[in-house]
Structure 1
C-alpha cells in the first residue's frame, strides 16, 4: 500500500482525502474498511473530528453518529450476507471515538461463534495474510460503499 503515514492520524487523513481505507463520507464521519479482513467486510466508523468518546457529542450529533454506525452495519450485513453484525465502541487502545462493525458468519469455528472477535488469535490482527488488500478486497470495499450510499439516501 506504499506510504502508510495516514495510519498515524486516520481521521485527519480522511478529512484531507488521504486515507485509502475510506469507503464514503457519512453525515457524522467516515465509513472505512478495516485493516484486517479475516472476517470479510470488517469496517469502522470514524467521526468527522477528533472526539474522545461518544458522550462528548451533543445529543443530536450522537444520534447522527449512532444512525451512521447502524447504516454501515446494515450495509456490511447485506453485502456480506453475514449471520449478524457486532458493534463495538471502546477507545481503550486508540483513545478516540470509533466504532468497529464486525460481520459474524456461520462458517466461523464453532468455538468462536459465541465469543467476541477480540478472542481470535493475535495473528488474525497482525498477519499480512489477513490484511486488507485492494486486489483481493477491492470489490467488497466498493460493494459496501455503494450499499452505504444507497442507505444514506433513504435514511437522510
Structure 2
C-alpha cells in the first residue's frame, strides 16, 4: 500500500487528530468524523493508501472506494435526516484522496450553496457529544 511520510492521513499524526476523529475502517477507506460540526454529521472518507486522484485507482480500487463513499452518504442521510448530501473533494494542497461527506439541511447553513470548509464561527463539540454522533453513525452503517 502506498504511504507518504508528509501526509497526515498516512501518518495519522496531530495534524489529523486535531481536525477529525477516526470512526472505523471501511472496505477501502477510513471514516472520520470532522470535529467542526456546523453541518451535523459531517465526515471524511479517506482512501486507505496514498493516492492523489480518483483516476490513480484501478477499476476495482475505485469501485470499492466509491462504494464506501456512497455507504457513508446513505448512512449520514438516514442517521441525521439530511435534506441533501454534499460531496467535497478539494485537495489542492492535501494530496491524499478523500471526500468530505456533508449533510445539509433546509434553512441550515449554506443550504442551496457550497458548504464552507472551515466556517468562521466554528461549531466544536464536547467529547461526549462527538461520541454520541459516532455511535449514531456506527449504528446506521
Provide the TM-score with structure 2 as the length reference: 0.82
Structure 2 unpaired stretches of 5+: 1-6
Find runs of 4+ consecutive structure 1 residues off by over 4 angstroms: none
Say if 2:83 and 2:105, in contact at 8 Å, map to a contact too.
yes
For residues 87-121 of structure 1, the C-alpha deviation after alignment (integer angstroms, 9 at most, x for no partner) is 12121132211001000001315xx3211003x77
Match of 2:4 in 1: none
Aligned to 1:151: none
- 2:138 match: 145
1:123 Cα shift?
1.1
Find the counterpart in structure 1 of residue 21 from structure 2.
21
Who is 1:44 aligned against?
44
Contact persistence 2:38–2:119 (CA under 8 A): no
Structure-2 separation of matches of 1:44 and 1:10: 11
Unaligned runs of 5+ in 1: 1-7, 149-156
TM-score by structure 1 length? 0.75
